[in-house]
Amino acid sequence: MPKDFRFWSQNPISSLEMRVIDSNSVFVGIDRHLLMENAGRSVATVVVERYPNAKRVLVVAGLGDNGGDGLVAARYLHSWGRDVKVILLGRISDAREELVVDNLAILRNLNIEIIEATTPYDLLANQELFHPWAEVIIDAIIGTGIRGILREPQATAIELINKSAAYRVAVDIPSGLDPDTGEVRDIAVKAHVTVTMHRPKTGLVKEGASQYVGELVIADIGIPEEVEHVVGPGDVYYLNYARRPDSKKGDNGRVLLIGGSKEFTGAIYLAAKAALRSGVDLSIVMAPRDVARDIRSHDPSIIAIPLDGDYLAINHVDQIMEQMGKSHVIAIGPGLGLREETMKTVVELVSRAVDIGKKVVIDADAIKAIGELKKQDLIRKGVVVTPHAGEFKWLTGIDITVDGNPWSRAQRVNDIVKSLFKGGVILLKGNVDIISDGQRYKLNFTGNPGMTVGGTGDVLTGVVSALAVKVNDVFEAAALGAFITGLAGDMAVKEFGYHITPVDVIENIPKVFRRLINVDSIINASIHISAQKLLK
């Protein structure tokens, strides 16, 4: 196996993180065929390097991507003079994954025998291939896709692999081993070597897993480190879009938005509407009396609770706290203004929200209040702040615009966040958005100059607030919020040119979700069967 020069590739990741990285690799332009080609070649290389005298190789492949890696390995080993046979756990005609179909088609044009095994009896009829025929067996059955108890014929295949005297090489994960916990519920392949792709999965390095993993080899399949720092369609995997059939009002998100003033009435409405369009049940605005009245008259879907007076004031805190306790996420800032009492009230509300464990999104004038009153210590775990470069300087005293390259700027921002804040997340808005919690950082490449129109930042606040309900990690919620808002803006500007309004961005949010998620499938599964007949 060639030496791995990627000094950054040794830290383990979860199977979910790997799924995100795979998807985002395609987003940045790396072809999936290339990734599978590199994975399969890496497995084949390990086989010939570890077992140079072995001539007979049996590949046991499932119908998923893990099986596809095994099929590629079979092709290389055949090309390198090995006698290769493939046992496919299913029918060739049952293959649905594009890459698996393509690689099966290639093997069928070569002198490689493919044996279809749909039942344990098919495997037992060919058990002599496991022993004594095979000198090396490649386990390409399941990989990271394991879910629950093993089904047949997978379980029987694993049992036959383990009974064989052949050397056993696992592709990515020994089949049957949980890739995240290292646990084995039923049975798992006991590999001599495991070739894992890109990075080790957390389950491979858990205590007790070594008896199944054997020697662990990390294969470079051509994913650069930058891919791990790009927000893309893969990040949607962090989102729980589905809803429980028995859910009731509020279960799927209750966001409280605090903002507005005598001068600025629209900002907090845009944030609230964006949150609602992003899929929460309740978008609740607490704003000065006239702002709340305007929202009520304009859009009955927003719950607008009036606060006495024209500005947010300290005497509103107790009233706001009643709603804060019922809400999943608190957003504060759009349209508040910079009166001294308002800024002090912002600090008090953020402090209380953090103390009771609420997720908080801080935007616009609330950012300036935190900076002006030197309360950066409130930016801690569970808090997202969404500044542009000017607000970032107000907050930190640092002009980040001097760093021209987005990658160097991102690393600089990450260092600043690590040194100044206590685990809070900064979403630095710009031509390329930068999201950092001081330990991790991501760059977002959606969005366009048309989004300089006033109000799009408020839309972002609403989207991030909604996603903070549905994504456990607020860092990922912020990153995904930037991606979705930017893509909605890209769709709007494609339609209208540089004549968009923030409302155009909001109206494109559901279209973005539909592009990124199989919305129809999820929704159809939740609609009563009798009603579905009427919808056809």
| Whether residue 289 sits in one domain with residue 166 | no
Half-sphere exposure of 350 (CA within 13 A, CB side): 33
The one-letter amino acid code at 464 reads V
| Whether residue 171 sits in one domain with residue 251 | no
* pLDDT reported for residue 237: 97
Q: Residue 192: inside a domain, yes or no?
A: yes
Tokens representing residue 421 in the block: 């804040």
| Whether residue 181 sits in one domain with residue 86 | yes
Tokens representing residue 88 in the block: 């496919």
| Whether residue 460 sits in one domain with residue 428 | yes
Q: Residue 532: inside a domain, yes or no?
A: no
| Whether residue 378 sits in one domain with residue 310 | yes
According to DSSP, residue 230 is labeled B
| Whether residue 222 sits in one domain with residue 273 | no
Tell me the C-alpha distance between 154 and 123, whole Å.
10
Q: Residue 10: inside a domain, yes or no?
A: no
| Whether residue 137 sits in one domain with residue 254 | no
| Whether residue 476 sits in one domain with residue 373 | yes
Q: Residue 5: inside a domain, yes or no?
A: no
Range of the domain at 483: 233-240+247-525
Domain CATH code at residue 486: 3.40.1190.20
| Whether residue 223 sits in one domain with residue 252 | no
Domain CATH code at residue 122: 3.40.50.10260
Q: Residue 311: inside a domain, yes or no?
A: yes
Q: 């958005």: which residue's tokens?
A: 433
Q: Residue 7: inside a domain, yes or no?
A: no
End residue of a domain, out of 173, 201, 229 = 229
From the centroid of its chain, how far is CA 336? 33
Residue 113's nearest CA partner among 152, 71, 146 is: 71
Mark out the alpha helices in 262-405 (DSSP H runs).
267-277, 289-298, 317-324, 340-355, 365-372, 389-396
Q: What residues contact residue 88 under an 8 Å CB cut-off, 6+ apart?
A: 61, 63, 67, 104, 114, 115, 116, 117
Mark out the alpha helices in 421-528 (DSSP H runs).
456-470, 474-496, 502-516, 519-526
* Packing angle, helices 456-470 and 267-277, rounded to 10: 40
Tokens representing residue 33 in the block: 């065929």
Host H or E run for residue 85: strand 83-88
Tokens representing residue 96 in the block: 């649905």
Q: 């600089």: which residue's tokens?
A: 412
Tokens representing residue 367 in the block: 């950012």
Q: What residues contact residue 289 under an 8 Å CB cut-off, 6+ apart?
A: 306, 307, 308, 309, 310
User: Do 216 and 234 contact (CB within 8 A), yes or no?
Assistant: no
**Number of neighbours of residue 405 by Cβ within 10 angstroms:** 10
End residue of a domain, out of 201, 229, 257 = 229
Q: Residue 138: inside a domain, yes or no?
A: yes
Mark out the alpha helices in 278-339 (DSSP H runs).
289-298, 317-324
| Whether residue 102 sits in one domain with residue 63 | yes
- Cα dihedral sign for 392, 396, 398, 402? negative
- How many structural domains are present in the chain? 2
Q: 């690590």: which residue's tokens?
A: 418
| Whether residue 125 sits in one domain with residue 25 | yes
Per-residue pLDDT of the chain (536 residues; tens, 9 = 90+): 556 677 777 899 999 999 999 999 999 999 999 999 999 999 999 999 999 999 999 999 999 999 999 999 999 999 999 999 999 999 999 999 999 999 999 999 999 999 999 999 999 999 999 999 999 999 999 988 777 778 999 999 999 999 999 999 999 999 999 999 999 988 999 999 999 999 999 999 999 999 999 999 999 999 999 999 999 999 999 999 999 989 999 999 999 999 999 999 999 999 999 999 999 999 999 999 999 999 999 999 999 999 999 999 999 999 999 999 999 999 999 999 999 999 999 999 999 999 999 999 999 999 999 999 999 999 999 999 999 999 999 999 999 987 679 999 999 999 999 999 989 999 999 999 999 999 999 999 999 999 999 999 999 999 999 999 999 999 999 999 999 999 999 999 999 999 999 999 999 999 999 999 999 899 888 888 888 888 87
End residue of a domain, out of 229, 256, 281 = 229
Tell me the C-alpha distance between 24 and 198, whole Å.
13
Residue 459's nearest CA partner among 295, 278, 230 is: 278
**153: preceding bond cis by omega (within 30 degrees):** yes
| Whether residue 210 sits in one domain with residue 254 | no
Tell me the C-alpha distance between 111 and 478, whole Å.
52
Q: Residue 1: inside a domain, yes or no?
A: no
